[in-house]
Structure 1
Amino acid sequence: MGSISPADMDPKSTPYTILEEPLGAPRPIRIITIGAGISGLNMIRTLRKTLTNYTHVVYEKNSDVGGTWHENRYPGCECDHPSHNYQFTWRKNPHWSQFSAGAREIERYILDVCEEEGLRSEIRTAHEVVGAAWDAPSGQWVVRLRDLRTGETFEDRGEFLLNATGILNNWKWPDIPGLEHFAGERVHSAAWPEDFEYRGKRVAVIGNGSSGVQIVPAIQRDVHSLVHLIRSPTWIAPPQTERMLQGEILRSVQMDGNRFKPEQKERFSNDSEYYKSFIRAIEEQVNARFRTMVNNDGLAETLQKNLENHMASVLKDRPDLIKALIPTTFPAGCRRLTPGPGYLESLTAPNVRVVTDAIQRIVPEGIQLESGEIIPLDAIICATGFDVSFCPRFPIFGQNGVNLQDIWTRALPTAYMSCAVAEMPNYFVFMGPHAPIGHGSVLSIAEQVARYIARMVKKVQTEGIKSVTPRTSAVAEFAEHAHAFLPRTIWAGNCRSWYKNGTADGPIIALHPGSRIHWFHMMEVWRPEDYEYEYLCKGNRFRFLGNGFSVRETGEDPVWYLEGLGDFSTL
């Protein structure tokens, strides 16, 4: 099969000629994806199902696939979404052991999918991207890489660059003076050492985000003493099994705490219609939460009152903890709600101390508070999160040499419909600014973005297009709409949140301005007018029409139009 190159398309050097290919013939193309987590793995499968005449490579910095679920190994780590909805729509797993699966079980699911689908052939592990630049003359991305096993650096080139590195990926130490001088063991929740032994030691856990809330009850019984240092209160939800197993189908589920009973797992495996109904019922509940986020009909007030009653009932004998932990200045849902099984209970244990005083510095023997008190410690666990600025950790140079790092450092990160970036041709990102990251499971989100990208790649392949870039005006107007809408949600409350890049009053940059269904609907609507196209044939954009024939004439159904032209439901 022939291919179109920029040189033979230049109308100044050669007269216009017919392309001797049928309409729809895809030109050869190379796609480079960064990251072999959920999004990167799904992208491999999506491309296999939708494209031909392409090559694809996925570079992963870690030693194995899995992304978040390969990296996060701290005690108590589990997903905050129901297991049966935290899976690919194309790979159901009726065998989940828990309503909310633990990190290792999710990692096992991902590894199984990778093996069953034969995805490893396109993945290069232990390969770190150190930079990327758009080469306009060739219409390719030049990606610089380092082989972490050998130390070798090299370049790869591809027409498309897909960033699937994720938002909660670039972990960071807290900005506390003297942290490096601590004489004991210092651990970050997102880089948990396999050989870290905390049993019998004096341990501090800094932070009460989702990681801290899971770590504290997981280690409390095994440590000599535990000091939990928190900067502000947070809302803790009851176990998801208490909140979500409502309705006829869900009430019938047989549970032993958070675990499914053997007979329940057997029914999931043997009764496909029941299993499908269970998943749909859970999904409908998850999607319905958005109404609470926009405070319709007093739902937010009801949620907050329920959470307040739950926390107060668990902490009933500790008025000091009630005062320290139950928020009074921001609404429930302002931060991502974390189910915290055992968290509140563990804080009342005799070997636990909750500290709300500010940390002044870290000293060799422990933590010094602003009051001057020094808390002696053997280990400090920093459950302090990630760099959530969306700024890539390596330079990405787009049109005219602009660096995405500089753009998203100087101004608020913006992306067209969360996945395309101004001045970055043939570049797409998963879970970018204003994605529905707080609305529900990210797996179905990743699938939808992959479909969107595949459609764009196919258009470029088959319509003589060299590059496609979202219009700067379209990106700006989408961001304008988001920033006008999101203040009406609870997420805009006066709390520090990674949705607002760790600030209390900054604009929301991480969330979609609408419901989860709203986002899916939006992503299904193709808006080619919001993009700028550069064509391989600069003198005639219709050269892709080719030799007068179509690839459909030799396809499986050359008279497909006889079926369904009268069906207008898909318009």
Structure 2
Amino acid sequence: MKIDSVPKPQTTPESPKLPKIMAQPRLAQLAQHLPNASPKSKYTIREQPLGTTRPLRIISIGAGASGINMARTLRLHMTNYTHVVYEKNPAVGGTWFENRYPGCKCDIPAHNYQFSWFPNPGWRSFFADAGEIEEYLCRACESEKLAGDIKLEHRVVGAWWVENKGQWRVSVENLRSGKVFDDWCHFLLDGTGILNNWKWPDTPGLHDFQGKLVHSANWPEKLEYAGKRVAVIGNGSTGIQIVPAIRPVVSELVHFVRSPTWVVPPRLQVLANSKAGEVITQVEMDEEGNFRPEQIERFKADPAFYKRFVKAVEEEVNGNFPITMKDSDYAKAVKEGAAAFMRSELEGDERLCRILIPNFPVGCRRITPGVGYLSSLGAANTRVVTNRIRRVVPKGIELDTGEIINLDIIVCATGFDVSFCPRFPIVGRAGNLQDIWSKSIPQAYMSCAVPGLPNFFMFLGPSAPIGHGSVFTLTEHIAKYITRILLKCQTEGIKSLAPSSQAVSEFSEHIATFMPRTSWAGPCRSWFKGGTEDGPVTALHPGSRIHFFHMLEQFRGEDWEYVYEAPGANRFAYLGNGFSTRELDPTVDSTWYLDEPDKL
């Protein structure tokens, strides 16, 4: 039968014409005028459709990569909320705004150290320097028009959970005026990061020095070090970058090394010999790893090639986790290769080889490419000192041997407070997190939530994959995970939630049992273990990056404790009046399930 031959319905006096009302508005009218529940029950139906959102106020702390991405994620997936980001610095960027020491750059390939939603085919070099990364973060904010969410030069100085309101009271200092005021939020998101709160070394007489005393994370903009006698204390990733950057122009460089560290071949060289080499060999760079102008234009003009390049490098970066399996044949081969590389770069100098080549597994301390570092140590104007520093004196540094080394500048590349203890009070149901984590091992649920701190989430907390690869991709996954939880609370009548102590205890037990099989737990002093040599690994996730991403795909509601908006009321009140926002909103496809029938 043809469609146009179907008989049309007839109208009769007994069958009056139907009013010309569109289906969606009619549903909306019905949704407002349905009869209530049975009078036998005190429970009443909430006259709103399933999916209705309650208003939320959200505060984020820090406008580094985590805070910037979180602001965008909320805009993309949430409605009926307000959001403010408090940033202590006069500009966004976090660690890339603050760290400007000579040689400062990221050791993750630039095209993988970016947001997946804001690709930058114009990176100038394979490994971007701090200034270029800061520029990129500023452009990301401008592109997404996020300035309205961010209050610069505002420092959070305390936060207190108010149980009866289900809110955080947040104390904020306006650094321009010096005034302190209170704000509030339903959810508090901490994006301050772990490598942000720099600290001076605990060295007697440090501030008695009459020359220039500098911390690498607070580098003076116009520091004149050419022709000077300069000490660099520390051979972590920062010290390893500073030494070759300043060595050619200083008159004398004294490098204080407390313990050995693995310095591996340049990552670009390693990647060129990997599965990604097929793509990398097609990319035009100079000897310093800077992209040629025509290569940047090709990235811009050929998105397919650009994406293939990014994905190939990302796959190789993700594949580094097996190196940390300390008893594997692969880890053994990597260790032998790294030792041979270091010996070659040190030109076989037995003293330097003995000082710098470790016995502990590769990865026990953070693996550092250190381009030019090892060769700098054998230069005529460089002295490597392993003696203990007795104290700092007005003219320089006194060693435990009694020798005084006269200096013009002392650079402390001595890192950050990596205890995870917040720098301001965060007071929840169980007390101040500062006190809790100063007395016990920092523990968090999947790195981002803490028992007794309702409606509180953090980025890069204890047991995050901070040493596994790009932080940008990491923060995207954490932001999506947090947003899914916020949506659940916003639409299901949940006033507050926090992970249970038992869930966090069992998660921590898994971590503690897993870590001894990794190089991270080896016999070395590392910030992975809070700056200790034999303490537990608190900073890293017990698995690969992909393992972490996979873990965050599903929200395990059974691990959480809930408080509902109406305590003691029916938890299913959010089901409402029988209608769904998906059928009442004309902008939503109400037959979405027909488009992807096989999607799980």
Q: TM-score, normalised by structure 2?
A: 0.91
Counterpart contact for 2:323–2:362, Cα < 8 Å:
no
* Structure 2 CA distance for partners of 1:463 and 1:376, relative to 1, 3 Å: same
Q: Which residue identity does 1:202 align to in structure 2?
A: R
The corresponding residue for 1:202 is 229
Distance 2:185 2:124 in 1: 41
The corresponding residue for 2:148 is 121
Are 1:516 and 2:549 an aligned pair?
no
Counterpart contact for 1:537–1:543, Cα < 8 Å:
no
Are 1:347 and 2:377 an aligned pair?
yes
Deviations 1:106-153 (A, max 9, x none): 111111111111111000111111100000011100000110100000
Q: Which residue identity does 2:475 align to in structure 1?
A: A
1:294 to 312, 325, 329: 325
1:55 to 82, 90, 107: 82
The corresponding residue for 2:311 is 280
The corresponding residue for 2:184 is 157
The corresponding residue for 2:417 is 387
Give 5+ residue unaligned stretches, structure 1.
Answer: 2-13
The corresponding residue for 1:430 is 459
Indicate the larger mover: 387-396 or 539-548.
Answer: 539-548
Quote how far apart the aligned CAs of 1:378 are. 0.8
The corresponding residue for 2:529 is 500
The corresponding residue for 2:386 is 356
Quote how far apart the aligned CAs of 1:303 are. 1.0
Are 1:183 and 2:207 an aligned pair?
no
Are 1:563 and 2:563 an aligned pair?
no
Distance 1:435 1:553 in 2: 40
Distance 1:397 1:349 in 2: 52
Indicate the larger mover: 205-214 or 265-274.
Answer: 265-274
Counterpart contact for 1:229–1:354, Cα < 8 Å:
yes
Counterpart contact for 1:62–1:125, Cα < 8 Å:
yes
Distance 1:158 1:223 in 2: 51
Q: Which residue identity does 2:508 align to in structure 1?
A: A
* Structure 2 CA distance for partners of 1:29 and 1:80, relative to 1, 3 Å: same
Distance 1:490 1:173 in 2: 28
The corresponding residue for 1:248 is 278
Distance 2:553 2:429 in 1: 28
User: Helix, strand or coil for the counterpart of 1:259?
Assistant: coil
Q: Which residue identity does 1:282 align to in structure 2?
A: V
Q: Which residue identity does 1:144 align to in structure 2?
A: S
1:97 to 124, 127, 147: 124
Deviations 1:337-378 (A, max 9, x none): 111111111111111100011101001110000000000011
Q: Which residue identity does 2:434 align to in structure 1?
A: Q
User: Helix, strand or coil for the counterpart of 2:415?
Assistant: coil
Counterpart contact for 1:206–1:229, Cα < 8 Å:
yes
The corresponding residue for 2:18 is none
Q: How does 1:164-563 map to 2 (within 5 A)?
A: 164-246=191-273, 247-257=277-287, 258-295=289-326, 297-316=328-347, 318-328=349-359, 330-399=360-429, 402-538=431-567, 539-555=569-585, 556-557=587-588, 559-560=590-591, 562-563=593-594
* Structure 2 CA distance for partners of 1:380 and 1:451, relative to 1, 3 Å: same
Distance 1:479 1:31 in 2: 28
Indicate the larger mover: 299-308 or 156-165.
Answer: 299-308
Quote how far apart the aligned CAs of 1:262 are. 2.2
Distance 1:17 1:179 in 2: 69
* Structure 2 CA distance for partners of 1:317 and 1:167, relative to 1, 3 Å: same
User: Helix, strand or coil for the counterpart of 1:504?
Assistant: coil
Distance 1:236 1:142 in 2: 46
Deviations 1:53-92 (A, max 9, x none): 0000000111110001000010000001010100000010
Q: How many residues align?
A: 555
Are 1:148 and 2:179 an aligned pair?
no
Distance 2:42 2:84 in 1: 37
Distance 2:108 2:488 in 1: 35
Distance 1:211 1:55 in 2: 38
Distance 1:132 1:557 in 2: 38
Quote how far apart the aligned CAs of 1:558 are. 5.0
Deviations 1:374-427 (A, max 9, x none): 000111000000000100000000115x11111111111011111111100000
Distance 1:367 1:451 in 2: 49
Q: Identity of counterpart residues, as a percentage?
A: 57
The corresponding residue for 1:5 is none
Quote how far apart the aligned CAs of 1:272 are. 1.1
The corresponding residue for 2:101 is 74
Quote how far apart the aligned CAs of 1:486 are. 1.0
Counterpart contact for 2:326–2:361, Cα < 8 Å:
no
Quote how far apart the aligned CAs of 1:206 are. 0.2
Distance 1:54 1:362 in 2: 53
Distance 2:267 2:550 in 1: 27
Counterpart contact for 2:324–2:362, Cα < 8 Å:
no
Quote how far apart the aligned CAs of 1:561 are. 5.2
Distance 1:201 1:523 in 2: 51
Q: Which has the larger radius of gyration?
A: 2
Deviations 1:187-229 (A, max 9, x none): 0000111122111111100000011000111111111111000
* Structure 2 CA distance for partners of 1:565 and 1:106, relative to 1, 3 Å: closer
Q: Which residue identity does 2:412 align to in structure 1?
A: C
Deviations 1:312-341 (A, max 9, x none): 11111532212221113x122111111111
Distance 2:121 2:115 in 1: 12
Give 5+ residue unaligned stretches, structure 2.
Answer: 1-27, 29-40
The corresponding residue for 2:21 is none
Q: Which residue identity does 2:456 align to in structure 1?
A: Y
Distance 1:525 1:467 in 2: 19
Q: Which residue identity does 1:515 align to in structure 2?
A: S
User: Helix, strand or coil for the counterpart of 2:71?
Assistant: helix
Deviations 1:280-333 (A, max 9, x none): 1111111111111114741111111111111111111532212221113x1221
The corresponding residue for 2:57 is 30
Q: Which residue identity does 2:291 align to in structure 1?
A: F
